[in-house]
Amino acid sequence: MNSIDDINFEDKKAIIRVDFNVPLNENFEVTDKSRIEGAKPSIVKVLEDGGSAILMSHLGRPNGVEDKFSLKHIVNTVSEEIGVKVKFVEDSVGEAVQKAAEELQNGEVLLLENLRFHPEEKAGDETFAKQLADLADVYVNDAFGTAHRAHASTTVVAKFAKEKAMGYLLKKEIDSLDKVLNSKEKPVTAIIGGAKVSSKITVIENILDAIDHLIIGGGMAFTFIKAKGGKIGESLVEDDKQDVALKIMKMAEQKNVKVHLPIDSKTTKEFKNDSETKIQPIDNIEEGWMGLDAGPKSQLAFAEVIKTSKIILWNGPLGVFEMPNFAEGTIAAGNAIAEATANGAFSLVGGGDSVSAVKQNGFEDKVSYVSTGGGAMLEMLEGKTLPGVAALDD
């Protein structure tokens, strides 16, 4: 599989699938530029080689053509970030686009309009994909966040490309996951949190062969505690997943993976930040009370495991971190991961909420890698082949 470093782009046009699905405020200003920053190295490589770049992306979930989802709103931000004035064309295929692509000079960048304004994009339409491929000499996929989708611009376009390659961001994501799943270094610890066991079953089952420690936190921990016969009060639980929780613990035991569940919980009677709280044993929570965060004993126990780890995967918060009073468990885990990383461990954080927690609490530069693709990362952790990556291999 070609990496972008295997190609010299001198006098060549590259069409790059980027992930510019960025958040905008009510004035259509970009509120988080990390995805644009992530794509920058691949774009710069093409320009520095002496080529030109055509960028294509989706934004949001438009229903037909909707102005609020137009990529014209982000042109200035992309220009500032790359350091080149980006040209924009108000469609992604058609005569105007062909003309703009043909006129593009070396060192220039052209941004196409939102791909999802065309239903053919999500449908994986071959004619649409070929029109995109025909705009350039090389197809580069650098959009890990959409690599699990078999869309025209992420997968089908590779069929028609004269040359194709993986961009820096996509390669970094895959290498980071590979480091976790195929590590020779031990111990490997996975911290899996979030609300529901159901959304993480296949991830946990697939990573058990690669890990030594499994820390389970967040709302999903209560399903495990209840399955083991604990009293969890009014805490969140998936009653129909208790057998799955027991099965996971049995599988872990057979594979010599140590499962760490919370010991205590910060509980409250109402789901709000300033409600009365008390610390209770996780398996003996009074009726009328619910656990919303990992308690102090759990935080210490988890931190001990994390600090002795050589490889750490963190997916999902350990409490309702959006409320400051119930963010302590998540912050404590972040601090322990930061300390382990400073001491030489490799740490990978991914999945929407974990990424928000990391950014919100300033851990971004204290971990080894923050994944940009929630769904794609989960699918790789589940052992699935991503169509966007497989297409570069054909």
pLDDT at 355: 84
Nearest C-alpha neighbor of 54 from the set 106, 2, 95, 3: 106
6: Cβ contacts below 8 Å, ≥ 6 apart:
165
Q: Are 198 and 254 in contact (CB under 8 A)?
A: no
Choosing from 297, 307, 352, 359, which is the catalytic residue?
Answer: 352
Nearest-angstrom CA–CA distance, 155 and 136: 16
The token pair at 219 is 């709302």
- Does residue 353 have a known ligand-binding role? yes
pLDDT in tens, the chain (394 residues): 899 999 999 999 999 999 999 999 999 999 989 899 999 999 999 999 999 999 999 999 999 999 999 999 999 999 999 999 999 999 999 999 999 999 999 999 999 999 999 999 999 999 999 999 999 999 999 999 899 999 999 999 999 999 999 999 999 999 999 999 999 999 999 999 999 999 899 999 999 999 999 999 999 999 999 999 999 999 999 999 999 999 999 999 999 999 999 999 999 999 999 999 999 999 999 999 999 999 999 999 999 999 999 999 999 999 999 999 999 999 999 999 999 999 999 999 987 688 888 888 889 899 999 987 778 888 888 888 899 999 998 7
- Does residue 61 have a known ligand-binding role? yes
pLDDT at 352: 63
390: Cβ contacts below 8 Å, ≥ 6 apart:
155
- Does residue 230 have a known ligand-binding role? no
Nearest-angstrom CA–CA distance, 143 and 149: 11
Q: Is 375 a catalytic residue?
A: yes
Nearest-angstrom CA–CA distance, 161 and 131: 10
**Strand extents, DSSP E, 30-170:** 52-56, 87-89, 109-112, 138-141, 163-166
Nearest-angstrom CA–CA distance, 336 and 294: 14
For residue 96, CA distances in Å to 69, 100, 103, 325 come to 20, 6, 11, 54
Nearest-angstrom CA–CA distance, 199 and 206: 13
167: Cβ contacts below 8 Å, ≥ 6 apart:
4, 16, 39, 42, 140, 141, 142
Nearest-angstrom CA–CA distance, 317 and 218: 6
- Does residue 17 have a known ligand-binding role? no
pLDDT at 288: 97
Task: Show the domains of the chain with their CATH numbers.
Answer: 4-168 (3.40.50.1260), 183-381 (3.40.50.1260)
Q: With left for phi above 0 and alpha for psi between -120 and 50, is residue 316 left, alpha or beta?
A: left
Choosing from 13, 35, 172, 241, which is the catalytic residue?
Answer: 35
- Does residue 321 have a known ligand-binding role? no
Q: Are 386 and 380 in contact (CB under 8 A)?
A: yes
For residue 238, CA distances in Å to 196, 220, 234, 242 come to 7, 8, 12, 7
Q: What is the DSSP letter of 92?
A: S
- Does residue 322 have a known ligand-binding role? yes
Q: Are 210 and 193 in contact (CB under 8 A)?
A: no
Helix 34-49 and helix 75-82, axial crossing angle in degrees, nearest 10:
60
- Does residue 200 have a known ligand-binding role? yes
195: Cβ contacts below 8 Å, ≥ 6 apart:
218, 219, 220, 236
Q: With left for phi above 0 and alpha for psi between -120 and 50, is residue 94 left, alpha or beta?
A: left
Count of CB atoms situated within 10 Å of the CB of 60: 15
Nearest-angstrom CA–CA distance, 92 and 112: 5
- Does residue 226 have a known ligand-binding role? no
**Three-state DSSP class for 141?**
strand
Q: Is 352 a catalytic residue?
A: yes
Choosing from 196, 247, 307, 310, which is the catalytic residue?
Answer: 196
pLDDT at 353: 82
- Does residue 35 have a known ligand-binding role? yes
Q: Are 346 and 142 in contact (CB under 8 A)?
A: no
